Amino acid sequence: MFDKEILQYKVGGLLYMPAFQKNIVRKISEKKLPHLTSAAFCLEDSIRDESLAAAETSLKFILQELEHAENLPLIFVRIRSPQHLKIFHDKIGSRSKILTGYILPKFDLHNAEDFIKISRQINLCIMPTLESERVASLSTRRPELIELKNFLDDIKELVLNIRVGVNDFCNLYGLRRNANQTIYDVGIVRDILIDILNVFAKDFVVAGSVWNYFSGDFWAQGLQKEIFLDKANGFIGKSAIHPAQLPIIFDSMKVSRADLNDAKLLFDWKSETHGVMKSADGSRMNEVKCYLNWARRIKILSEIYGVENENLHG
């Protein structure tokens, strides 16, 4: 069985691509994407209905060819429905030696039981995506999220990340952020995200949303600003739609030297009377009861991604 506590943080920047993306084999084999930590081959929104069978055939060969590559990222397939999950896994997924798991789109109470039943049978990692109108609408959101959390708690060992579909949320209201805005500037979507974090972030890694820009002026600054706010609010990692985004996301997963030093202090706590201590650099307060979970996360991230401005990765 995989070590979920470590693996859930290794997802990092998840690069989405259509299942027809055959050149990814060459790029991975030739180490053209050094910051790629995980890849998602999409059989859902990015594939027209009439092309699904051809996309599945393409993906079958991609997965077979990737079996011969070294230093593979985590590999996921985004399927369409519970029935599609069963059909694809029986036909292709169960034969793959490198498949980490599946991304479950538009996960809500209409399909949760079926998704979970099949996920138990398959026994691979899953990453449910919250993006449907039932999750977005104020009249259904909070009871929907709480019930979904209860469902996922029952298979917690299989759930690597909770993912959020902000483009779907934006589409519901006819909205789109530009390269100078973050998703937190779009108030109606920001409120959905905060409720998702409130329900899930205590027990699951919740990944940040996709950033739609990858060229032109200001896109990188916009991505960095949104990642800063993602981290401040509790998101970990981010969906990517272009390789140009991967180095920025990867660097954002690194920890600061000050945070790592404080994490070590908290783990080495020996006082029998005091529950508070100054940080290593004397600039802030550390409370052992408040920050042990934070310290554990910092330690794991440092081991996977390294420390900012220091060549510790690898």
Burial class (CB in 10 A: 0-12, 13-18, 19+), 255: buried
Q: Give the pLDDT of residue 155.
A: 97
Between CA 205 and CA 216 the distance in angstroms is: 31
Instruction: Give the chain's largest Cα–Cα span.
Output: 68
Q: DSSP label at 92?
A: T
Q: Phi and psi of 134, rounded to 5°?
A: -65, -30
Between CA 125 and CA 38 the distance in angstroms is: 13
Q: Give the pLDDT of residue 2.
A: 67
Q: Which two tokens stand for residue 40?
A: 């998602």
Q: Which two tokens stand for residue 19?
A: 């299942």
**Does residue 204 sit in helix, strand or coil?**
coil
10-residue averages of pLDDT along the chain (314 residues): 87 96 92 96 93 95 95 97 98 96 98 98 97 97 98 97 97 96 97 98 97 94 98 97 97 96 80 61 79 92 93 48
Q: Which two tokens stand for residue 91?
A: 């036909």
Q: Give the pLDDT of residue 311.
A: 60
Does pTM top 0.85 for this prediction?
yes
Q: Give the pLDDT of residue 133.
A: 97
Between CA 280 and CA 286 the distance in angstroms is: 9
- Domain annotation for the chain: domains and CATH numbers: 4-253 (3.20.20.60), 257-305 (no CATH)
Q: Is residue 214 a contact partner of residue 164, using CB atoms and an 8 Å limit?
A: no
